[in-house]
């Protein structure tokens, strides 16, 4: 057997013995602190190298002086590496505890007492821990957004229940009073009472339809029958459908299609979307005002803009225009033709179901609603 083979076998024997001892110690410490496990792992590695070196040196029959020097060097290296291992293990443990604290805060922090996204108490000591910290940070951000959406949705639901309850109570009380008058034979004009009851019933039916539509949209159960829809035809049909209401209110209704583009959409839902926008614009525009529909497009998206003469919306109310039951400060008690403030919420749901976007902005004397839809290639 050659000397090299003997040296390799001796090194394997000494290093293997230390490695087995270290593995057994790591197994015994598997439920203990990470610091202890890391320290044992580092010392086992260093110990295996030193043991293999000393074992092979002993087999080579070195002089007592050289062997003593080797022992001293090995001891110094062992002490030095033990110190370095302890420091590094302490850093990793501190980073691990900081990440544990971050993970614990995700479940207990409140909306008013959240640590800013991106803020870290301890810098992670490795790329893996840094990646974990980033993922925790992203999870905190998503959770904060989810909580904000949940709070906004809960506020909208409460307002919806309160306002719709009021809107249902008022016409029902009127219907009951008129029905009692008809039953008691004290109605001065029975035909007018019957006509008024029919109008109130139609209004209630419209509110129920809106509530059902909105519930379907919010549940993500809106089923679209997609087809090729010409937006120029849609604008023309909307103008024709709203013309009578505009004439009744003395509002000028105009439309302009700069181009004729097609989109893949549900014709019935798009018609409802446009009708809601235009009728809402007409109702909030004073007599002698103007409501205009403008269609434009580029290579990727088509934009339908509806402008009115409502006088503008307060800046603080603009973010809430598409919320459920929102009618603005000056319109919480609707007129005879008013609704429950669900029209614009339905519009937003229909637009988003078609992968589109809707925005609102104040312009001189009124508002401008813009619906953006992807163009059919």
Q: Per the structure block, which two tokens stand in for 278?
A: 């235009």
Out of 48, 73, 108, a domain closes at 108
pLDDT at position 82 is: 77
pLDDT for residue 37 is more than 60? yes
Asked if residue 241 belongs to a domain, the reply is yes
Cβ atoms of 373 and 302 closer than 8 Å: yes
Q: Which residues on neighbouring strands pair with residue 233, listed in sequence order?
A: none
Cβ atoms of 318 and 360 closer than 8 Å: yes
Segments in 109-189 forming alpha helices (H)? 127-184
Count of domains forming the chain: 2
HSE, CB side, 13 Å, CA atoms: give it for residue 255: 20
Query: Which range marks the domain in which residue 49 is found?
Result: 3-108
What radius of gyration do the chain's Cα atoms show?
38
Domain shared by 359 and 229, yes or no: yes
CATH code assigned at 344: 3.30.565.10
DSSP 308-353: --S----GGGGGGTTSTT---GGGSS--TT---S-HHHHHHHHHHH
- Tell me the percentage of the chain whose pLDDT exceeds 70: 85
Give the H/E segment covering residue 262.
strand 262-265
Asked if residue 196 belongs to a domain, the reply is no
Give the H/E segment covering residue 294.
strand 290-297
Cβ atoms of 96 and 136 closer than 8 Å: no
Asked if residue 312 belongs to a domain, the reply is yes
Residues 295, 264: Cα–Cα separation, whole Å:
16
pLDDT for residue 119 is more than 80? no
Residues 35, 87: Cα–Cα separation, whole Å:
9
Asked if residue 168 belongs to a domain, the reply is no
pLDDT at position 125 is: 56
pLDDT at position 345 is: 85
Out of 49, 81, 108, a domain closes at 108
Query: For 350-361, how does the pLDDT look when each residue is reduced to its tens digit (9 = 90+)?
Result: 999 899 999 999
Lowest-confidence segment of 49-58, 152-161, 334-343 by average pLDDT: 334-343
302: confidence class by pLDDT, cuts 50, 70, 90: very high
Lowest-confidence segment of 13-22, 70-79, 106-115 by average pLDDT: 106-115
Question: Which of 29-33, 86-90, 227-231 ranks highest by mean pLDDT?
Answer: 227-231
Out of 108, 124, 159, a domain closes at 108
Span 37-43, mean pLDDT?
A: 77
- Tell me the percentage of the chain whose pLDDT exceeds 90: 22
Domain shared by 367 and 229, yes or no: yes
Give the H/E segment covering residue 212.
helix 190-218
pLDDT for residue 332 is more than 50? no
292: confidence class by pLDDT, cuts 50, 70, 90: very high
Query: pLDDT averaged over the chain?
Result: 80
Asked if residue 208 belongs to a domain, the reply is no
* Angle, in degrees to the nearest 10, between helices 267-283 and 343-353: 150
pTM of whole model > 0.85?
no
Span 181-197, mean pLDDT?
A: 86
Asked if residue 217 belongs to a domain, the reply is no
Asked if residue 331 belongs to a domain, the reply is yes
What SS3 state is found at 38? helix
Give the H/E segment covering residue 216.
helix 190-218
Asked if residue 211 belongs to a domain, the reply is no
């Amino acid at each position: 057997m050659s000397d090299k083979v003997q040296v390799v076998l001796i090194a394997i024997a000494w290093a293997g013995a230390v490695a087995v001892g270290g593995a057994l110690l790591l197994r015994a410490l598997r439920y203990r602190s990470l610091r202890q496990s890391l320290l044992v792992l580092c010392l086992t590695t260093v110990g295996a190298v030193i043991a293999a070196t000393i074992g092979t040196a002993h087999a080579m029959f070195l002089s007592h002086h050289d062997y003593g020097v080797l022992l001293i060097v090995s001891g110094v290296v062992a002490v030095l590496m033990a110190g370095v291992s302890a420091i590094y293990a302490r850093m990793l443990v501190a980073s691990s505890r900081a990440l544990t604290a971050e993970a614990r805060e995700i479940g207990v922090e409140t909306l008013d007492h959240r640590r800013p996204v991106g803020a870290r108490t301890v810098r992670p000591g490795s790329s893996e821990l840094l990646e974990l910290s980033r993922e925790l940070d992203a999870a905190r951000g998503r959770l904060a957004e989810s909580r904000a959406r949940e709070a906004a949705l809960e506020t909208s639901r409460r307002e919806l229940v309160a306002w719709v309850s009021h809107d249902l109570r008022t016409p029902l009380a009127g219907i009951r009073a008129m029905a009692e008058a008809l039953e008691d034979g004290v109605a001065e004009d029975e035909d007018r009472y019957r006509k008024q009851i029919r109008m109130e019933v139609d209004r209630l039916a419209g509110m129920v339809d809106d509530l059902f539509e909105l519930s379907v949209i919010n549940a993500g159960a809106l089923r679209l029958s997609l087809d090729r829809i010409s937006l120029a035809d849609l604008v023309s049909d909307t103008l024709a459908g709203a013309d009578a209401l505009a004439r009744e209110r003395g509002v000028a209704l105009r439309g302009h299609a700069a181009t004729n583009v097609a989109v893949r959409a549900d014709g019935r839902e798009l018609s409802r979307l446009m009708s809601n926008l235009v009728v809402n614009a007409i109702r909030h525009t004073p007599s002698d005002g103007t409501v205009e529909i403008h269609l434009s497009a580029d290579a990727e998206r088509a934009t339908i803009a509806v402008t009115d003469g409502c006088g503008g919306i307060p800046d603080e109310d603009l973010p809430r225009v598409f919320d459920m039951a929102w009618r603005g400060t000056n319109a919480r008690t609707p007129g005879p033709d008013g609704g429950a403030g669900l029209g614009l919420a339905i519009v937003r749901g229909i637009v988003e179901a078609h992968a589109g976007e809707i925005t609102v902005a104040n312009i001189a004397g009124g508002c401008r609603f813009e619906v953006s839809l992807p163009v059919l290639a």
